[in-house]
Amino acid sequence: MSILATVKLIKTIKLNMKRTILSLSFLLIPGLVFSQQDPQFSQNMFNKLANNPGYAGSNQAICVTMLHRSQWMGFEGAPTTLNLSVDAGIPAIHGGVGLNIVKDDIAAFSNLGLQLTYAYRTDLGNGQMGAGLSLGMFQSGADGGWFEAAQPSDDAIPTGDVKGSAMDFGFGVYYNTQDVYIGLSTSHFTEPTIEWSNSQMELARHYFLIAGYAHELNPMFTLNPSIYLKSDGSSSQLDINTNVLYNNKLWGGVSYRLDEGLIALLGMHINDDLKFGIAYDVVMSEIKNNSLEFMLGYCFKVSYDRPMKSYKNPRFL
């Protein structure tokens, strides 16, 4: 064998080992990805329907939100996530409905979640309470080309594309006034199991707590602190966020993600209905690769035949 051929062979072996180790790392390393299977978003204050069905219809408008996240940029096989959510308040059914779609690609794995949501809403004190249920499916697949089995007969490692799906349920409650919101919710309530050809993946039940407050500093500036807590019962992730809204048009702020790093937040209201935001994660953990996330949101009011008691949406941008 020539020296050149030997070098190429060594590079191929290293690449295959790297891809195998990388893929297995995403599955096995605690606290990385699959210990908490739901994707994370830094602009969580704009993306409440993704984790809480009780939020549906709280704006009393038809709202569409799209987020795209590139996590740990430059890291081979790093997660990329696309989230689309739509919700609307409908007085005739005493609440709101919603649709949430999440596409998440991580190394060899590709996950798709689709949830339909109904939330019953009622007046409570100075605000509204929503109790919601989501019903849908979770599909997960893997590209066997990423793996190099130590033995050709190792059935635990797929050699081709595999895919499976399962029914998925969630539940949440969400309360808001003009200045305050708080929500509790759970996803993967029944902890479904997704069957592949020779293996399976179990979805852990996740729990979420969201809360925020709008404090008017003066007629031009509003301070919007909030928290986002996610847990699967064995590990947790906490975001502490602070945004400042200027003249109801521009916002900027910072978030701290416990044990991971800092996040810079910027955005603007392009007009009364359309807003755009960006988040840049400065990762301080051992991974070191930073993350970038974009958000686009659009809401428009709908006139109904009969009057409905209205609450201004919390002043969270």
Give tens-digit pLDDT for 43-71: 999 999 999 999 999 988 899 999 999 99
Distance CA 170, CA 184 (A): 11
Least confident of 9-18, 61-70, 211-220: 9-18
pLDDT at 100 over 50: yes
4 pLDDT higher than 50:
no
Q: Is the Cβ–Cβ distance between 182 and 199 less than 8 Å?
A: no
Region 295-308 average pLDDT: 75
Lowest mean pLDDT of 22-31, 168-177, 278-287, name the range.
Answer: 22-31
**pTM as predicted:** 0.82
The band of 317, judged by pLDDT with boundaries at 50, 70 and 90, is low
Residue 82 pLDDT exceeds 60: yes
How far is residue 80 CA from its own chain's centroid?
11
Give the tens place of pLDDT for each residue, 259-271.
889 999 999 999 9
3-300, which class in CATH? mainly beta
pLDDT in tens, 237-253: 999 999 999 999 999 99
pLDDT at 168 over 80: yes
What b-and-e string marks burial along 37-49, b requiring 16 or more CB atoms within 10 Å of the CB? bbbbbbbbbbbbb
Token code pair at residue 58 = 């709280």
Is residue 3 predicted with pLDDT exceeding 90?
A: no
Average pLDDT, the chain: 82
Question: DSSP label at 17?
Answer: H
DSSP 285: S
> How do residues 130-151 score in pLDDT, each as one tens digit?
999 999 999 988 776 666 655 5
Q: Is the pLDDT of residue 27 over 70?
A: no
Domain ranges, ordered by start, for the chain: 3-300
Rounded to whole angstroms, the Cα distance separating 165 from 199 reads: 13
Residue 312 has pLDDT above 70, yes or no: no
136, burial (CB in 10 Å: exposed 0-12, middle 13-18, buried 19+) = middle
pLDDT of residue 16: 41
Has residue 101 got a pLDDT over 90? Answer: yes
State the residue for tokens 């996740």.
206
Residue 14 main-chain phi, psi, to 5 deg:
-60, -40
pLDDT of residue 308: 46
Which ranges in the chain belong to alpha helices (H)? 3-28
Band of residue 31 on the pLDDT scale cut at 50, 70, 90? very low
- The larger pLDDT score, comparing residue 78 to residue 21, is at 78
Give the count of beta carbons closer than 10 Å to the beta carbon of residue 78: 19
Residues 275/262/45/278 CA torsion (nearest 10 deg): 20
| Tokens linked to 231 | 């847990």
